[in-house]
Amino acid sequence: MELAKVLAPVSEHLDQFEIQYKRALETDSVIIKEITEHLYGGPGKRLRPALIFMTSGVYNDSSIYSAMAVEFIHTATLLHDDVVDESRTRRGIETVNHKWNNLVSVLMGDYFFAKAFNMLVKAGSPEIMASFAKATERVSIGELNQVFYTGNFDITEERYLNIIADKTASLFSCSAEAGALCAGGNGEIREGLRKYGENVGMAFQITDDLLDLIGETKKTGKTLGSDIREGWVTLPLIQAMKKDNGNSKERIKKVIGNEVGQSDIKEVVEFVKDNGGIEYAEQKAREYVQDAVDILHSLDGLPMKNVLEEFAVLAAARDM
């Protein structure tokens, strides 16, 4: 299943989004212009804006401004993440912190947050603004907790799931909820889509963590094993450590987070595979997808229910 095919029903909305988004980034500041041109040299996936258009089924002021807001927030979090992770590349291009410096990356992230707030004011809905405010708070909590638990090899599955719910699923959740609000959806549809988005976001992040171990760099645009290098223990490794009955676990603990070479990454991946971590995480992602689909089936009156179902499936089946 290809992303372009899934998003085809809202492709015109996304084309208009790109025009409005670039217009919103117009500035007299030389450095901001240089950075935005660097960041947006190629088209992004725009998953969260697409989710707003799919759940709302409409293109109006509320949906376009909400879509821009969520993309600004998402970009801001990535800029701050890259500073924390000391990343050199993202999606095949130099990170802002590497091309310029950490201070520029942090301030640019702040700029994008400010742009998001501006868009939310223009959306004209206190309920949408409240939803985004809560989601942004959750993202911050999730990121802080991830930093706190990095290097902790005893992190539980429950704690890991709580962290990714905050740092990733929250924006998917508020995007889906915003779509319902943009279309004037009732309480049941709004709550249902909020839960749908949360489950899709969970599947998306678990799959992303899997791709960090077994993905193809050409497709993902990411350097494999980045979580291992940073000492962040994700679900596949949590499960593998739980199942290991030998002494391999102690060896793996010494490898993660230190000066990690390709042979070390290969060793960790083999350990995870041998102890069922890959299959377990894949199954967990599919369970979240099924929960999302079940929610859709319980809701009446959604204009793009089939598209939303395909989008949910893609979250766990993607290779990019």
Distance in angstroms (rounded) separating the CA atoms of residues 34 and 32:
5
Angle at which helices 277-298 and 262-274 pack, to 10 degrees?
70
Alpha helices in 28-60 (DSSP H): 30-39, 47-56
Residues pairing with 94 in the sheet = 89
Torsion of CA 211, 94, 77, 289, to 10 degrees: -20
Residues pairing with 93 in the sheet = 90
Contact 174, 135 (CB under 8 A): yes
Contact 82, 143 (CB under 8 A): no
Where exactly are the structural domains of the chain?
A: 3-317
Contact 236, 281 (CB under 8 A): yes
Contact 319, 2 (CB under 8 A): no
Average pLDDT value over all residues in the chain = 90
pLDDT band at 39 (very low <50, low <70, confident <90, very high): confident
Q: What is the pLDDT of residue 26?
A: 93
The neighbour count for residue 188, using CB atoms within 10 Å, is 13
**Which residues of the chain form beta strands (DSSP E)?**
89-90, 93-94
pLDDT band at 257 (very low <50, low <70, confident <90, very high): low
pLDDT digits 0-9 by tens, 152-208: 988 999 999 999 999 999 999 999 999 999 998 778 999 999 999 999 999 999 999
Structure tokens at 249: 């676990």
Does domain 3-317 fall into CATH 3.90.1200.10? no
* Closest alpha carbon to 168 in 84, 70, 39: 70
Contact 291, 312 (CB under 8 A): no
Contact 264, 227 (CB under 8 A): no
Stretch 51-63: mean pLDDT, rounded?
94
Provide the 8-state DSSP code for 218: H
Q: What is the pLDDT of residue 221?
A: 56
Place of tokens 């807001």: 69
What percentage of the chain exceeds 70 in pLDDT? 94
Structure tokens at 118: 């501006």
Q: Which of 1-5, 161-165, 208-212, 226-230 ranks highest by mean pLDDT?
A: 161-165
Distance between the two ends of the chain, CA-based, in angstroms? 11
Stretch 99-110: mean pLDDT, rounded?
89
Q: What is the pLDDT of residue 85?
A: 72
Q: Compute and round to an integer the Cα radius of gyration of the chain.
A: 20
| Residue 320: pLDDT over 80 | no
Structure tokens at 142: 């999730």
DSSP helix/strand/coil, 184: coil
* Closest alpha carbon to 270 in 236, 231, 318, 245: 236
Residue 231 burial class via C-beta count within 10 angstroms: exposed 0-12, middle 13-18, buried 19 and up: middle
Q: Which of 33-37, 69-73, 87-91 ranks highest by mean pLDDT?
A: 69-73
Q: What is the pLDDT of residue 218?
A: 52
Structure tokens at 316: 């766990």
What percentage of the chain exceeds 90 in pLDDT? 65
Provide the 8-state DSSP code for 95: -
* Closest alpha carbon to 260 in 232, 235, 239: 232
Contact 65, 117 (CB under 8 A): no
pLDDT band at 24 (very low <50, low <70, confident <90, very high): very high
Stretch 39-48: mean pLDDT, rounded?
80
Distant-in-sequence, close-in-space partners of 71: CB < 8 Å, separation ≥ 6: 21, 44, 46, 48, 49
Q: What is the pLDDT of residue 166?
A: 98
pLDDT digits 0-9 by tens, 268-307: 899 999 999 999 999 999 999 999 999 999 999 898 999 9
Q: What is the pLDDT of residue 86?
A: 72
Structure tokens at 99: 């091309």
Between 131 and 44, residue with greater pLDDT: 131
| Residue 220: pLDDT over 60 | no
Backbone φ and ψ of 133, nearest 5°: -60, -45
Record the pTM.
0.93
